[in-house]
Amino acid sequence: MSMPQENEILTLLLGIGVLVFIWVNLSELKQFKASKFLMSGYLISFLAWILTNFEVLYWPQILNMMEHICYSFGSVLIAAWCWKVFLGKEAE
């Protein structure tokens, strides 16, 4: 059985730190425009980081596919947040 790569473990650990920061500052972060898009995008990306560490242990093909779906969906949500924040008034 193989082990997750060091960079994947480090990414997950840094992501946990950011998740704690988000949880502690949730009331302030909710005041950002379209914050649900940003936080949802981050949480889905965080799920991808979890999946990438577990794919070496269980169901490698399925978890790898789910990881990449999470990256895609999380990127779309963060792009939607950027669109609403930086181009929202121009698009209306």
92 pLDDT exceeds 50?
Answer: no
Question: Distance (Å, rounded) from C-alpha 91 to C-alpha 73?
Answer: 22
- Domain presence at residue 33: yes
Question: In this predicted structure, what is the pLDDT of residue 88?
Answer: 75
Question: In this predicted structure, what is the pLDDT of residue 90?
Answer: 59
Number of domains in the chain: 1
User: Of 88 and 82, which is predicted with more confidence?
Assistant: 82
Question: In this predicted structure, what is the pLDDT of residue 3?
Answer: 79
Residue 51's identity, in one-letter code, is L
- The average pLDDT across 76-89 equals 90
- The average pLDDT across 25-48 equals 93
DSSP characters over 35-91: HHHHHHHHHHHHHHHHHHHHTTTS-HHHHHHHHHHHHHHHHHHHHHHHHHHHHHHHH
% of the chain at pLDDT higher than 90: 68
Domain containing residue 56: 6-91
- Domain presence at residue 1: no
